[in-house]
Chains A and B, each alone.
Chain A
Amino acid sequence: MSVLRLATLIGRGHHIAEPAPERPPLFPGAEVLGGSVQVRYINAGGCNDCPLEVSAAFGPVYDVERYGARLVPSPRHADVLLITGSVTRNMAEPLRRTIEATPTPRFVIAVGDCALTGGVAGDGYGIAGPLRDFVHIDIEVPGSPPEPAAIVRALRQLTGR
């Protein structure tokens, strides 16, 4: 496909992003972020269902970046830790270190039932426990997996946009 053809297609299609739903109320304490939220994503151990939904939330259709949230490559840059999956024994220590490396004020969003309750594998020998045993959770996004729209809503509570 030629560059020109691609440009006309994009021009004709206009925006891929869906219209913005109504703005949720601001999470108490999130005023300090002032509409700019850097997100560090952590998969503490799961079936990779929730990560697909998270990446959809940051994709062009749900486009959470338009509200001021951005994925960052390092916990040192982050304001928000977005955590999926029940915490496995191997991920318990990396999770603890990642939380330690994140500057305050920081917020934690737990995405999916596994992170919140332990999920189907919650009693398994490889599971160290649900997420709330390791860190204080600010915003819960239930669902197995939750819809991208729910993840977008949780992030918008922090950006306030």
Chain B
Amino acid sequence: MTVLAVNTQDLAGLNWPAVVIALVQVVLFIVISPLLVGLIRQVRARIEGRRGAGILQPWRDLRKLLGKDPVRAADSSWMLRVGPVALVVSSLLLCVLLPLVGTLSLDFLPSDLFVIVSVMLIGVVALALVGLDGGTAFGGMGSSRHMTVAALVEPTLLLSVYALSIPAGTSTLSLIVGARLDTPGVIISPVSVLALVALSIAIMAETGRLPIDNPGTHLEVTMLHEAMTLEASGRDLAWLELGSWLKLAALLGLVGNLAFPWGVVTEFSVLGVLIGAVAITVKVLLLGVLLSVGEVFLAKVRLFQVPELLAGSFALAFLAVTASYLVA
């Protein structure tokens, strides 16, 4: 009986506004992440002089793939079945944890910097294992490159958000965004600018965009992300695609909210949530257009130069941390 009593008390004490916002974030990002990818491809096609398949094309791809039964390699294990779902779950958890629509955070699941980076790592490892499981040469090569990039990206991610956390005095991302909303002057401080540039480069690497990885390539020598998904088909492929799109959208949303926190819900109200949802959609799509235009003018860097680029972003993040102690 006492156990039951405690449970009901817990339920009543649950932070309902935060739960609602988390649900809104998940649903919203499932809807807009294929649109974001469609928009990125469409803008790129227009700039290149093509017509493009339309913004809704990723949705059509996803719908078709979800209806197809996968063909799996004869020697593949349960990893090929579970890995794609694990990637989607980790990306959905990112959508729950990050302050995207609102800064209200769940009490039992902190949106702490370290929690978020480890949730992201679950997806990274799942994807790498899926790449290995097919047993093809390209899959293994892709996984090895993917883990190399991931190992170089994680410290930058941690360090750059750490630099942002020093002025706010907390490592909880929702509180950092809240603090930036209260004192907007912080946003254009050198610490913040350095950390945001470092974070952006790290996110480009993490989500497999140019100049680190070319999402449109099919060339064996240059593939990173594509190489790992070569052996996935049907439903498996759909989950892998959706997982990576969700991650891209959520991380762009994080950058958007750190650079321009206005519109984020700090106190729960229905109108506020609506405004928050519209604001984050606009931010993510605008960043997507910016990313797409930038990518047209960029070439992929050589694989052996990727560590140099990422070391550069790490240096920026390190400078940001140092500056935050000296300047602030």
Contact = CB atoms under 8 A, between A and B. Distances in A.
Contacts of B47: 10
A4 B232 CA distance: 41
A73 B230 contact: yes
A153 interface: no
Interface string A66-99: 1110111110110100000000000000000000
Interface stretch (A28-36, A115-123, A143-151): A28-36
B67 A32 contact: yes
Contacts of A63: 50-51
Nearest to B297: A3
Interface string B48-82: 11111110010011011001111100000000000
Contact of B49 (A15, A36, A76): A15
Interface stretch (A44-52, A101-109, A132-140): A101-109
B231 interface: yes
B223 interface: yes
Contact of A104 (B52, B54, B69): B69
Interface string B34-55: 0000000000010111111110
B223 A73 contact: yes
A26 to B, nearest CB: 15
B284 interface: no
Nearest 9 CB-CB pairs, A to B?
A76-B233, A73-B218, A66-B51, A16-B49, A36-B60, A74-B230, A103-B71, A36-B61, A36-B64
8 contacts: A16-B50, A35-B60, A72-B218, A74-B233, A76-B70, A77-B233, A103-B70, A103-B233
Interface of B: 45, 47-54, 57, 60-61, 63-64, 67-71, 218, 223, 226, 229-234, 237, 297
Interface of A: 3, 10, 13, 15-17, 32-36, 38, 60, 63, 65-68, 70-74, 76-77, 79, 101-105
